[in-house]
A and B are shown apart, each in its own frame.
Chain A
């Protein structure tokens, strides 16, 4: 069982929320946009939205730096 995060295959974990996934991926940058199977997940739902097996997730880090 796996999910795809930013086009890379990653193990699926049961009952994993978006914020837990971000933590697992070490995605610490605060300005990210998360889309699960193309649908936007707002920041307020990061802790409640659970990832399903086979999901395709985009974690878009907004350009920063400089």
Chain B
């Protein structure tokens, strides 16, 4: 194992002090002239600078790296109406430029970075999110991911609502959006670092107009890292310069391999620079309305956050102890929902390490300010061993990923977090894949030889870190190459090698559609099983998080109830990605009067806040249901694109059994009372009969029952969403949502339905007994 275990841990964090703030990070001196000397301008394009009109810059930017060309595309009222912004714009850009057979590494693939109409607002919390989209290497359908940092607002302030990058460059390049001069440039960048913590630092200094913190704050960098070049887990890091720490901090577009696509296109970074901005930069229709709404919300967070989620103090890490208490914290590849050692990684432990420099948000004006950092962290492994660095986070998902790998030392979690970020790797996909590898290692399906010399027992931090370093180094070992492509490819590889029980491998690898699960145990919440597996991009919790509502509150007991929740919440939560907003200020803080409302889970006062702000920015006369309609259009368009690209059917929405119930005897025995009780309650077995059954027999019965429950849930959800029983949005539904002129899309959907008809697939998936209601009387309910 790597050294430093016996070191005084406090000595590893010397950045905390009560005096003038000093991170004590390792200082780097850059030869900026040398870096600059490597920049050849391959293309320069001048554009007209003009003010934003009520939240919209009014045009898309398209950069084709293969031809070295740039195009401005006017943003029409029709596009605004149908797609709103953010993810909607990203889908529209991709739809316009790819074919149904385009794959992630084809030059035609589009990497779209998108803003939204409210993005860049500074009077309300959480309004600086960038929403990016691409055809994912993990899933080969559209994946979207969001992150804070300054890129989306700055891109819009510079003049563009969305940037689509297509083609591939011949050598490493930087795409530079110069909002000061009104120019787009593609420049070679041979000498800069590739890993993000250094690259963002270099480019921030290089592109700042002068050597001041103020100038550096006006530069933002989008980058990936060496890991992104060799893995399907590539992230986009979005920088924002922190003048207190003198550090270009990073927020991550984690899911779906966006960074992999960036590096496949040989883009080292996208840089945006602006002259400056004010709180009026969006030229909103009614700033007073926005300000009034913002003050109310700021006051609420200030007064209540401490007794609610405590986001201002510990960030999303507050969930670790909560998830552990409710048996939801994934441990040892989701086998268990908690662990006795979990208290070692509670937010209280990270709080001791966080540098409390408040406010600490990732965009201006965010009172929630949940972006935490650990400064002066001494690294123990890898190319930066011995250096001290700033780590942004860790957020809940990263800490829980540590739990999933049985990593109970906060310092190792921080090191894992740091290297994933700088290498451009998604902490969620990496942790979920590694946890799966560790379980396979425990069963002997994998071993040291098969793992290219790595000893992947649960909790072996050294193996985890070596794996990351070898991925970043471009190690050509068979295991390293396959492992870096994620859980689905490992399953295929293990099955092809015939190294273990195929069903066990399928059941334990936590992925759907090729994307790894995020970090929650969903075994006892059928609604959340659907929330993960029915999500268009793959199993990410940002579509729906229904575990409390379903498992703890028992508020949605019937399939119809669950389907209603799986209609409302995924569509509503999608809305944040359309508008350039963060979801956290919606329901991780609630007004004091929220308990008295009819539907407190929806936080009605905050929904009204969003109505007020959207109308305040755009001048639109809208109500709450209009926000939902905006989102429903985009949500259905994304699913339709999945169908167009050959996925988006029931067979693509089937979860691995580990997400639904106990796969192994040890899991069953660990919660034996719970499962035996279910055999009695749900399946009507007597204690005597259960007592005569072996554990594997009990597991099998529960498995059959739960899969049938899942299919009944899918039946109900598809029906509620207006999709066929095989999960295809119907042309009728799409027309109802306003997609009248999208002939190719409508024809594609009809062909898919006809094809499913021929194969007999437009039938209910659940086995309904006599007297049991199906979601509708007739299966072709849309006709």
Contacts and interface: CB of A to CB of B under 8 A. Distances in A.
Nearest to A31: B308
B499 interface: no
Question: Which of B549, B552, B590 neighbours the largest number of chain A CB atoms within 10 Å of its CB?
Answer: B552
Contact of A62 (B321, B554, B557, B601): B601
A64 B309 contact: yes
A16 interface: no
Contacts of A7: 554, 557
Question: Which of A29, A62, A65 neighbours the largest number of chain B CB atoms within 10 Å of its CB?
Answer: A65
B583 A30 contact: no
A66 interface: yes
B325 A62 contact: no
Contact of A65 (B319, B596, B600): B319
Nearest to B310: A30
Contact of B520 (A26, A43, A63, A65): A65
Nearest to A60: B553
Nearest to A5: B554
A31 B309 CA distance: 7
A9 interface: no
Contacts of B518: 66
Contacts of A40: 595-596
A10 interface: no
A65 B310 CA distance: 13
B590 A31 contact: yes
B233 interface: no
B326 interface: yes
A55 to B, nearest CB: 16
Nearest to A26: B325
Interface in A44-66: 58-66
Question: Which of B590, B595, B603 neighbours the largest number of chain A CB atoms within 10 Å of its CB?
Answer: B595
B555 A62 contact: no
Range class of the A interface residue count: 20 to 34
B554 A6 contact: yes
Question: Which of A8, A27, A64, A66 neighbours the largest number of chain B CB atoms within 10 Å of its CB?
Answer: A66
Contacts of B546: 63
B542 A62 contact: no
A6 B601 CA distance: 16
Range class of the B interface residue count: 20 to 34
A33 B308 CA distance: 12
Contacts of B541: 65-66
A2 to B, nearest CB: 16
Contacts of A42: 595
Contacts of A60: 553, 555, 600-601
Given A63-B569, A66-B583, A30 B309 contact: yes
A62 B545 contact: no
Contact of A63 (B321, B322, B549): B549
B286 interface: no
Nearest to A41: B595
Contact of B547 (A27, A43, A65): A65
A43 to B, nearest CB: 8
Contacts of B596: 40
A6 B553 contact: yes
A22 B183 CA distance: 60
B548 interface: yes
B307 interface: yes
A63 B548 contact: yes
Given A6-B553, A28-B325, A63 B309 contact: no
Contact of B600 (A8, A33, A59): A33
A40 to B, nearest CB: 6
Contacts of B555: 60
Interface in B569-604: 569, 583, 587-588, 590, 594-596, 600-601, 603
A63 B555 CA distance: 12
B325 A65 contact: no
Contact of A28 (B308, B321, B553, B583): B321
Contacts of B552: 6, 27, 59, 61
A65 B552 CA distance: 14
Interface string B295-318: 000000000000111100000000
A42 B596 CA distance: 10
B337 to A, nearest CB: 12
Interface in B534-573: 541-542, 545-549, 552-555, 557, 569
A64 B596 CA distance: 18
Contacts of B600: 33, 60, 62
Contacts of B549: 61, 63
Contacts of A61: 548-549, 552-553
A6 B557 CA distance: 11
Given A29-B326, A31-B309, A60-B600, A66 B553 contact: no
A29 B719 CA distance: 33
B319 A30 contact: no
Interface in B512-536: 518, 520
Nearest to B588: A64
A61 B323 CA distance: 13
A27 B583 CA distance: 24
B307 A66 contact: no
A63 B554 contact: no
A64 B548 contact: yes
Contacts of B595: 33, 40, 42
Contacts of B588: 64
B543 to A, nearest CB: 9
Contacts of B322: 28-29, 64
Contacts of A6: 552-554
Interface string A1-43: 0000011100000000000000000111111010000001011
A25 to B, nearest CB: 9
Contact of A66 (B309, B545, B554, B557): B545
Given A64-B587, A65-B520, A65-B547, 8 more contacts: A6-B554, A26-B326, A29-B548, A30-B308, A30-B309, A62-B601, A64-B319, A66-B518
Interface of A: 6-8, 26-31, 33, 40, 42-43, 58-66
20 contacts: A27-B552, A28-B326, A31-B590, A33-B595, A58-B553, A59-B552, A60-B600, A61-B549, A62-B590, A62-B600, A63-B545, A63-B546, A63-B548, A63-B587, A64-B319, A64-B545, A65-B520, A65-B541, A66-B542, A66-B583
Closest 8 CB pairs of A and B: A65-B545, A61-B548, A66-B541, A33-B595, A28-B325, A7-B554, A66-B542, A6-B554
